[in-house]
Amino acid sequence: MAKVVVLGSGVVGAATGHGFGHYGHDVTLVDIDPVRVERLRSQGHDATTTLDLTGAGAFVFVSLPTPSTRDSGYNLSQLTSGLETLGKALGSAMERHTVVVRSTVPPHTTDQIVIPTLERTSGRTAGDDFLVAYAPEFLREASAKEDAVSPWMTVLASRSPEALSELTALFKPFGGELKTFDDPVVAEVIKIAHNAFNATKISFWNEMWRLCQQLAVDAGQVAGTVARSSEGSTNPAYGIRGGSPYAGACLSKDMDGLLGLARSLGLDLPLIASAQLENRIIAEGSRRD
Ligand SMILES: NC(=O)c1ccc[n+]([C@@H]2O[C@H](COP(=O)([O-])OP(=O)(O)OC[C@H]3O[C@@H](n4cnc5c(N)ncnc54)[C@H](O)[C@@H]3O)[C@@H](O)[C@H]2O)c1
């Protein structure tokens, strides 16, 4: 049984606590919000507003908010402030702890913000006095607890081989695919690409749904069939190589055909138009190479 401390016990943190509790670990949920802590206690959790790392070595999961901003990408002030508190607690620790950031963060945050902040505020050295890893969270808000118990994939990234091996052992009983990386930046970009892919797919089908409405066609019949007929839907390796334009003439021709049809119907299809633009940029780039 491991000691697990969760810093930031909202949607992700509470689900993380539930997951580790399910597998028999000793979990403490920490949150700055006393009302949330009371609610978590009333649900049977060990919850507190005070982070204390003076006891046994723990896995400290950081699930603090990282809201997005349109001009600078992400607002990391709550993450940084929580990390400062965590660093101070690490400074008084008797045993070595492993910090695992689960918040969604921009690339290079682990190396350029998490580790320097923890080292500065603890007076200790990452990789030596404490270990640091980044493990993006893929759970869905609507099924957060179930996803935390049975993740379909866990991504673990750390420059410390020891942290990777500890975390691999910790997550093994959860099942699902386990992927490890020795560079946290890879995992930071994985999480961003993961959400961008899902968002793009949803928007694609919204565009097709609007087209179907305009044509008085059953969008469910179209989507339900294409979800199985298109290689892009059924083959995970299709289209993911990067750096090459569409192969063959059909995709480009039929995307232009669709855009022309939409124009004639007075319909705006910005995602299809952007996909054509992206293909043109890649095609021009590969002609120059
Ligand atoms: N919600 C999701 O479905 C989901 C899924 C995957 C990843 N994420 C990412 O996980 C992170 C957390 O998201 P969330 O939805 O759980 O947020 P949330 O707002 O539900 O929870 C964050 C919690 O952190 C607490 N907090 C803020 N500052 C604190 C501090 N200094 N010390 C202790 N607690 C503090 C808040 O009171 C809040 O309870 C974000 O980066 C988010 O992008 C969220």
Position 170 confidence tier, pLDDT thresholds 50, 70, 90: very high
Determine contact, residues 221/208, Cβ cutoff 8 Å. Answer: no
- What confidence tens digit (pLDDT) does each residue in 87-137 have? 999 999 999 999 999 999 999 999 999 999 999 999 999 999 999 999 999
Ligand 1 contact via 11 beta carbon (within 6 Å):
yes
The CATH-assigned architecture of domain 192-288 is: Orthogonal Bundle (1.10)
Please report which helix (H) or strand (E) contains residue 193, including its range.
helix 184-215
Find the 219 Cα to ligand 1 centroid distance in Å: 36
Find the 226 Cα to ligand 1 centroid distance in Å: 36
Find the 33 Cα to ligand 1 centroid distance in Å: 11
pTM: predicted TM-score of the whole model, two decimal places: 0.95
Q: In the prediction, which pLDDT does 72 show?
A: 83
Nearest C-alpha to atom 37 of ligand 1 is from which residue? 33
CA distance 133 to 131: 7
5, β-bridge pairs: 28, 60
Residue 288 has pLDDT above 80, yes or no: no
Ligand 1 contact via 188 beta carbon (within 6 Å):
no
Pick the CATH number of 3-182 from 3.40.50.720, 3.40.50.450, 1.25.40.320, 3.40.50.1220: 3.40.50.720
Q: In the prediction, which pLDDT does 287 show?
A: 77
Average pLDDT of the chain to the nearest whole number: 96
DSSP secondary structure code for residue 58 in this structure: E
- What confidence tens digit (pLDDT) does each residue in 218-239 have? 999 999 999 999 999 999 999 9
DSSP-derived pairing of the beta strands 26-30 and 47-48: parallel
Ligand 1 contact via 212 beta carbon (within 6 Å):
no
Domain boundaries along the sequence of the chain: 3-182, 192-288
Decide if 3-182 and 192-288 have a common fold: no
Position 141 confidence tier, pLDDT thresholds 50, 70, 90: very high
Ligand 1 contact via 31 beta carbon (within 6 Å):
yes
Ligand 1 contact via 109 beta carbon (within 6 Å):
no
Ligand 1 contact via 76 beta carbon (within 6 Å):
no
Q: Is the dihedral of CA 130, 132, 137, 141 positive or negative?
A: positive
Q: Amino acid identity of 177?
A: E
Find the 164 Cα to ligand 1 centroid distance in Å: 24
What is the mean pLDDT of the segment spanning 239-243?
95
Retrieve residue 133's tokens.
Answer: 């890893």
